[in-house]
Amino acid sequence: MVRGVIFDLDGVLVTTDEFHYLSWKQVADAEGIYFDREINHRLRGVSRMISLEIVLERSPRQYTDAEKQTLAERKNEIYRNLLNRLGPGDALPGALPLIHDLRHAGVRIAIGSSSKNTRYIIERLQIGHLLDAVVDGNDIRHSKPDPEVFLTAAARLGLPPADCVVVEDAEAGLEAARRAGMRVVALGPAVRGLAADLWAENLAAVDCRRLLELPARGDRA
């Protein structure tokens, strides 16, 4: 039985994944470090500082911890400026109809995101009233692929992990969901072909009933 759905935020409910890319690209270009969309896929779902380490892999020189801190802050400043463009109505196509259908079916809704900007994004989109729990980068010690974010979300929903489904656009997120013992819907091209209970191009292609009928982990042949 599916009693809770935990949505990833960036790249699932809103196109902030593109804002992350643009911000890192600006930081990398200013440092003369090669960065492209393929590398950017590896940043999906992982924390800001781990993202920075991945960006710096292509750098010919070493950065001190203080320099890394400055780069991470610069990236976040650029990113926050891009977030200011968001408003109600900027949730990705299919996101709000699916959440409404799920709520109508009595399913509890949570967000499980690695981002420390989650609450600001929720505010910009004005979707807080649709959520029963929010767990973000400020609440956890280990980011995806560690299951902590999803286990904490299930606990805040008051549900066992086996009753929850995660919706994710990142490989790190799929692994985190599996390690949490949850069913997982993989969304978008970055995770096409990876192990998941269901894959869809975007949320508009996810049918509420199909999601609710996903077989429990132990029930599959």
Provide, rounded to whole angstroms, the least separation between the CB of residue 99 and ligand B16. Answer: 16
Is 36 catalytic? The answer is no
| Inter-residue contact 75 to 30 (CB < 8 Å) | no
Please, which residue, 10 or 163, has the CB nearer to ligand B16?
Answer: 10
User: Least CB distance from residue 25 to ligand B16, whole Å?
Assistant: 13
Give me the least distance between CB of 47 and ligand B16, in Å please: 5
Residues 109, 114, 124, 153: which binds ligand B16 (CB under 6 A)?
Answer: 114
The residues pairing with 167 across neighbouring beta strands, listed in sequence order, are 7, 185
Binding stretches for Mg ion (CB under 5 A): 8, 10-11, 169-170
Q: Which stretch binds ligand B16 (CB under 6 A): 7-15, 30-38, 59-67, 194-202?
A: 7-15
* Residue 8 falls in the annotated catalytic set: yes
Query: Which residue has the closest beta carbon to Mg ion?
Result: 11
Does residue 190 touch ligand B16 according to CB under 6 A?
A: no
Answer yes or no whether residue 8 interacts with ligand B16 by CB under 6 A: yes
Q: Which span (37-45, 94-102, 189-197, 207-215) binds ligand B16, by CB under 6 A?
A: 37-45
Rounded Cα gap, residues 99 and 122, in angstroms: 14
Both tokens assigned to 119: 């609450």
| Residues with catalytic function | 8, 10
The residue ranges that bind ligand B16 (CB under 6 A) are: 8-11, 17, 20, 43-48, 51, 76, 113-117, 137, 170
